[in-house]
Amino acid sequence: MGCRAEAGAAAKGGRVLNIHSPPAAGSIDWAAAATQLERQGAAVLPNLLDAATCRRLAALYAEEAHFRSHIIMARHGFGKGEYRYFRYPLPDPIGTLRTALYARLAPVANGWNERMGIETRYPAEHQTFVETCHQAGQQRPTPLLLQYGAGDYNCLHQDLYGDIAFPIQVAILLSEPGKDFTGGEFVLTEQRPRMQSRAEVVPLRRGDAVAFAVHHRPVQGTRGSYRVNMRHGVSTVRSGHRHTLGIIFHDAR
């Protein structure tokens, strides 16, 4: 399955950034993250949110007023489980995280486009990028909360919601592996030209985020860079409940 359209329709400079917008905690080594994104198309951002914030955000799932739509994955062939897209204004700290993460990821995204021979460059500030989305008719917010129970899974997909797409997105694990749930691993696949697909499991603890390629990324070959096609998904949850917060930087048509 390809695009997960709406159902129915390196950082140079400072090594360590504290995302100061409380209660989001964690200091991220952005130089290391940029290197991982270059080499693997994904980077773990350890301990981005503290346990209390993870619990608070997971509990939002039940509060319908925060959301603009509710997707039952099995109805669309997306897997098994469910998710809800937030409404604007995004609850704290999702909006501030989206802005802060974007600012760190935009230079990486611009480097990728340069190497892939794609002309598009992303502005330094998320607000400017979102205005471009809105002018192109992509006006609906894409941050989402996902909820999985035993037997649920998320098929490999790409979160594209229109012509404009920021090439990196972030998912944050809000539940504690081994305690709240078992199974349910975050999986990335990479398809290289004329080769079979390669899968990678990204080990996450509660509060860890993974930044990863939405659809394409450059890989360094012997004769320059070439483009690979990435997808992500979640393996079957064996027991318990698993919640994730997805932060996608482009808005949806």
Q: What is the contact surface with ligand AKG in residues (CB under 6 A)?
A: 146, 154, 159, 171, 186, 232, 234, 244, 246
Query: Residue 143 binds which one of Fe ion, ligand AKG, none, with CB within 5 to 8 A depending on kind?
Result: none
- CB of 47 within 8 A of CB of 25? yes
Query: Residue 186 binds which one of ligand AKG, Fe ion, none, with CB within 5 to 8 A depending on kind?
Result: ligand AKG
Q: How far is the CB of 248 from Fe ion (least distance, A)?
A: 8
For ligand AKG, the closer of residues 138 and 244 by Cβ is 244
Q: How far is the CB of 220 from ligand AKG (least distance, A)?
A: 26
Q: How far apart are CA 72 and CA 78, in angstroms?
A: 9
For ligand AKG, the closer of residues 31 and 90 by Cβ is 90
For ligand AKG, the closer of residues 126 and 232 by Cβ is 232
- CB of 170 within 8 A of CB of 45? yes
- CB of 58 within 8 A of CB of 51? no
For Fe ion, the closer of residues 31 and 155 by Cβ is 155
What dihedral do alpha carbons 231, 232, 236, 242 form, nearest 10°? Answer: -160
Q: How far is the CB of 53 from ligand AKG (least distance, A)?
A: 17
Q: Does 159 bind Fe ion (CB under 5 A)?
A: yes
For ligand AKG, the closer of residues 161 and 186 by Cβ is 186
For Fe ion, the closer of residues 11 and 42 by Cβ is 42
Contacts with Fe ion by CB under 5 A: the residue count is 1
Q: How far is the CB of 72 from ligand AKG (least distance, A)?
A: 15
Query: Residue 140 binds which one of ligand AKG, Fe ion, none, with CB within 5 to 8 A depending on kind?
Result: none
Q: What are the b/e assignments for 165-204, b being 16+ CB within 10 Å?
A: bbbbbbbbbbbbbeebbebbbbbbebeeeeeeeeeeebeb
* Lateral strand order in the sheet of 82-86: 42-45, 209-213, 168-173, 242-247, 144-148, 82-86, 67-72
How close are the terminal C-alpha atoms of the chain, in Å? 20
- Which of these segments, 67-75, 108-116, 156-164, 207-215, binds Fe ion (CB under 5 A)? 156-164
What is the binding site for Fe ion (CB under 5 A)? 159
